[in-house]
Amino acid sequence: MIRKAIFAIALASAVTAMAVPRGDTDAAITQEAMPRALSDYGFFADLSGQVPGPGVTPYRLNTPLYSDGAEKLRFVYLPEGAAAVADGEGLLGLPVGSALIKTFAFGDGAQRRLIETRVLLHRADGWVALPYLWNAEQTDARLAIVGARVDLVTPRGEAISYRVPNKNQCKECHGLDGTVVPIGPKARNLSQEWLSAMVKAGNLDAVPDASDQLPLWEARDRVPTVSAARAYLDVNCAHCHRPGATASNSGLDLRWEQQDPHALGIGKRPVAAGRGAGGHLFDVVPGSPDSSILTYRMQSNEPGIAMPEIGKSTVDEDGIAIVRRWIEEMAP
């Protein structure tokens, strides 16, 4: 897959060609205006091929966020002469002038289509999230402030109306204590190989302690069920279900580091019972996923019930399976 090829290139050597000078890239990130096209940033030596230019490094997550089965191409841009700062197992500290770039693609070979690219720009007054919609010719992506809908078929063969979020909807997942923050590149969800390569390249100040790393999603059947399920919930749910985030009033805290069973929903009654509870009494009922609100909502596609509320149009069968197994293995 193209993601693996690009990732290997980044660890081996830097790409030297780029469409625009790095100074122009830095200006596009830090200026007050919003660039109208993805090409305006000059992140890529080959835009449609998603080949990174200088200062841009691909990365992958051990356990990724589910988005209707989309392939995701992830990149981080660091301004020249700057480096990220390690903060234990948490988010890397990216300096002002940095950018996180994530492209969503569906299909293989000649049928592969780039659908959208989301960028997070670190400006002097904080992070700004912007969505870009790819054109039919696959030559560039245009700023889509109001979002968009794209009809496509998922890898499971499901025909959906894929939703590109509008600028304000980005805050629903990236909002924490009233500000926009990154949620993906935490040291615990990045490989030691990648982190070490970043340090060697001068892009990271130190290899962070990642002794408690999230497992690889493709290895979920070879690790303890609790680790795979908790990693899935951390990545797919905890950006909202944590203190200070948009769903903090639920009382659920699904972060990887949370160890309180009640905060994880075990034996916990919902704050507000309603149709979203499906008649169930507790968020998680040990030994009984069919009686748990958590799995009831995860396996629904019905508006007002489905969780997560945005970011997907289909049910993640693999995610449901690992969370159900986690609950089944709990002692009643």
CA distance 224 to 219: 10
Higher pLDDT, 171 or 282: 282
pLDDT tens track for 294-328: 999 999 988 888 888 777 889 999 999 999 999 99
Above pLDDT 90, what percent of the chain? 70
pLDDT at 20: 56
Judged against a pLDDT cut of 60, whether residue 6 lies above it is answered with: no
pLDDT tens track for 81-111: 999 999 888 899 999 999 999 999 999 988 9
CA distance 330 to 287: 5
Tell me the angle at which helices 2-12 and 192-200 cross, rounded to the nearest 10 degrees.
40
DSSP 175-210: EETTEE---S-BGGGS-HHHHHHHHHTTSBSS----
pLDDT tens track for 216-251: 999 999 999 999 999 999 999 999 988 888 888 888
pLDDT at 21: 67
pLDDT at 177: 57
**Burial label, 18 (beta-carbon count in 10 A; 0-12, 13-18, 19+):** buried
The tokens of 54 are what?
């200088």
Contact 194, 201 (CB under 8 A): no
Q: What is the mean pLDDT of the chain?
A: 89
One-letter amino acid at 128 equals V
pLDDT at 46: 97
CA distance 227 to 320: 14
HEC letters along 269-302: CCCCCCHHHCCCCECECCCCHHHEHHHHHHCCCC
pLDDT at 307: 87
Q: Collapsing DSSP states into helix, strand and coil, what is residue 225?
A: helix
Higher pLDDT, 173 or 106: 106
For residue 126, how many C-alpha atoms fall within 13 Å in the half-sphere facing its CB? 11
Contact 189, 74 (CB under 8 A): no
pLDDT tens track for 9-66: 444 433 333 345 677 899 999 998 999 999 999 999 999 999 999 999 999 999 999 9
For residue 102, how many C-alpha atoms fall within 13 Å in the half-sphere facing its CB? 21
pLDDT at 172: 67
Judged against a pLDDT cut of 70, whether residue 203 lies above it is answered with: yes
pLDDT at 71: 96
The tokens of 214 are what?
């999230």
H/E element holding 327? helix 317-328
**Mean pLDDT of the region 127-147:** 96
pLDDT at 146: 93
Q: Collapsing DSSP states into helix, strand and coil, what is residue 165?
A: coil
What sign for the dihedral angle of Cα 243, 245, 251, 256? negative
Q: Which of 121, 139, 128 is nearest to 50 (CA)?
A: 139
DSSP code of 88?
T
Contact 141, 119 (CB under 8 A): no
Judged against a pLDDT cut of 70, whether residue 273 lies above it is answered with: no
